[in-house]
Amino acid sequence: MKNGVSLLFLIFSIMTVSGQFNSRSSTVVISSTSKATQVHQDEKGGLKIDVNTADLKRFKRQGFVRYSDLGAVGTGRSDDAMFIVATHALANQYGYDVKADDGAIYSISGKENTAVINTNTDFGSATFIIDDTEVENRSASIFEVRSELSPISIEGLNTLKKEQNKLDSNLAEECLVKISDDNVRNYIRYGLNQNNGRAQTDIFIMDKNGNIDSNSPIIWDFDHITEISALPIDKKKLILSGGRFITIANQAPSKYTYYSRNIAVNRSNVVIKNLTHLIRGEGEHGAPYRGFISISDSSNVLVKDCVLTGHKTYQTIGAAGKPVSMGSYDLSVTRSINVAFENCRQTNDINDNRYWGIFASNYSKNISFDYCVFSRFDAHMGVYNASIRNSTLGYMGINAIGSGEFYIENSTIRGRSLVNLRSDYGSTWEGSFIIRNCVFVPPNRKSPYISLFSGSNSGLHDFGYTCYMPKNIIIDQLHIDDSLQDEEYKSIAIFSDFNPKMTDESFEEQFPYIKTEKVVLKNISISSKKDLEISDNKFMFRKVVVEKD
């Protein structure tokens, strides 16, 4: 009897949940009542949720709660965001799953409301209309998948070495560790979007005994550590499924004021599946987006069977005072490890250059595409290990800098080059490229030259690190379909002219660019029957060993 009374007291008492609502308010008050279930929001954004006791028993019995249970009407004519937020707050408190109502149309206005997701959520056949034409806070996500585990502090760690495999630290559980040194600047960008670089940053997975996962090694020397945090890796899988999300695009000026009205994933061990994101109402101008699915500070995330949409490309003035195209994304990955995209595609034509490339990443490791059809793969501030398999990439192709091994297998690439090593970050890849059973279809761009690997490094700019070309390149079974080229087309080469000024021994690099050692070519075919040359700049690549079958 005593246990029963205690349970009733737990259910019917008033509970305050902190830090699980939105950036304006950190308070949600949940209380039981004999009256109808209701949700109230104060002028500061705080929520008071009165839950009917019979409803609460029903939720417990069925194991889930629907948005309509908390007041969402789902007709598309009134703002349902407050009720969606309340539903997840209640589900988080009791551990219930969340389900959208079949066929519902939920309207989400520009008012700042972020629904924190801690439990499995089935968006089902519901539609969510996200109106970005008037937004209170462009940085506030619509949904945030958040871990309930608190970060663990690591004390007394002042230095780290590249490829160090163990730390003298014991943790309660396996963690994703983030470290940075604000005294060292990396990724000092060159070109129209030039900047002064970013604090040296790394991420890795460490077990409770201090062992560093060899699949996510430390890639920099840290003589000082100015910031470190250990994020416990959730053991239980959290699944988001279904849903049709429609963004009514912002009409803001075309400036770098990024919008994050999205699904933010800040938790490890997450699956997102069968989701569709569409974009409506893009006009003559607009601010860019960071990614509708935006994954940060996470590990072991799978996005599968999803349909995304590329954003319209807008122009602005870059840091160098000249016009530039703004990057705007529907998928983004930042400081994350083991992130996979499977059987995903985009709604717009992957070869339509009116739309920006759909995917970008920064500071991440072990990213993979498998059976995907996207306009591009892009790694800005470095990726360690990546793979593209059984996929088709459109007009923006593969753009990457980083390290480790990059696999491209059983895929078709339609970019200007097979691989573009980003020149704004030094065209650096410290590792190898392995290309097997692929087709390269360069578009007609009225150029006399085509290259498999493109990039640029003058040897005169300090990017904050030594720049490398891939040490080894292995290409086994590649067909180059150059049939779209016009009569100006003269030659195809392994490498573009990475430095037109390096034509003889008199040129001196202030910041040496380490060249490729070996290229292995097997089973190469070219539609035009042209020969595959080393480069138009034969001096620069004179020491590269090319092995042919």
Instruction: Please spell the DSSP secondary structure of 26-62, one letter per residue.
Output: -EEEEEEESS--EEEE-TTS-EEEEEEHHHHHHHHHH
Which residue in the block uniquely carries the two structure tokens 């604000």? 182
Strand partners, 341: 303, 369
HSE, side-chain direction, 13 A CA sphere, residue 517: 5
Q: What is the DSSP letter of 187?
A: -
| Rounded alpha-carbon distances, angstroms, from residue 274 to 307, 466, 482 | 8, 42, 36
Task: Tell whether 278 is covered by a domain.
Answer: no
Distance of CA 270 to the CA centre of its chain: 14
Task: Provide the residue-wise pLDDT of the chain in tens; the chain has 549 residues.
Answer: 334 433 333 333 333 343 344 434 458 899 999 999 999 988 877 899 999 999 999 999 999 999 999 999 999 999 999 999 999 999 999 999 999 999 999 999 999 999 999 999 999 999 999 999 999 999 999 999 999 999 998 888 999 999 999 998 888 899 999 999 999 999 999 999 999 999 999 999 999 999 999 999 999 999 999 999 999 999 999 999 999 999 999 999 999 999 999 999 999 999 999 999 999 999 999 999 999 999 999 999 999 999 999 999 999 998 889 999 999 999 999 999 999 999 999 999 999 999 999 999 999 999 999 999 999 999 999 999 999 999 999 999 999 999 999 999 999 999 999 999 999 999 999 999 999 999 999 998 888 899 999 999 999 999 999 999 999 999 999 999 999 998 889 999 999 999 999 999 999 999 999 999 999 999 999 999 999 999 999 999 999 999 998
Overall pTM > 0.75: yes
Task: Tell whether 356 is covered by a domain.
Answer: no
Task: Tell whether 43 is covered by a domain.
Answer: yes
Q: Pairing state of beta strands 227-232 and 175-186? A: antiparallel
| Rounded alpha-carbon distances, angstroms, from residue 517 to 147, 235, 382, 446 | 44, 43, 21, 31
Cβ-contact 544, 519 below 8 angstroms? yes
Cβ-contact 498, 455 below 8 angstroms? yes
| Boundary (domain end) residue, out of 112, 131, 150 | 131
| Boundary (domain end) residue, out of 110, 131, 152 | 131
Task: Tell whether 505 is covered by a domain.
Answer: yes
The dihedral over CA atoms of 40, 42, 46, 49, expressed in degrees to the nearest 10, equals -20
Task: Tell whether 229 is covered by a domain.
Answer: no
How many residues make up the chain in this entry?
Answer: 549
HSE, side-chain direction, 13 A CA sphere, residue 529: 0
Question: How far apart are alpha carbons 30 and 50 in whole angstroms?
Answer: 6
| Boundary (domain end) residue, out of 83, 108, 131 | 131
Task: Tell whether 410 is covered by a domain.
Answer: no
Total domains, the chain: 2
Task: Tell whether 77 is covered by a domain.
Answer: yes
Domain that holds residue 53: 2-131
Question: How far apart are alpha carbons 480 and 435 in whole angstroms?
Answer: 13
Closest CA to 429 of 362, 496, 368, 513: 513
Task: Tell whether 85 is covered by a domain.
Answer: yes
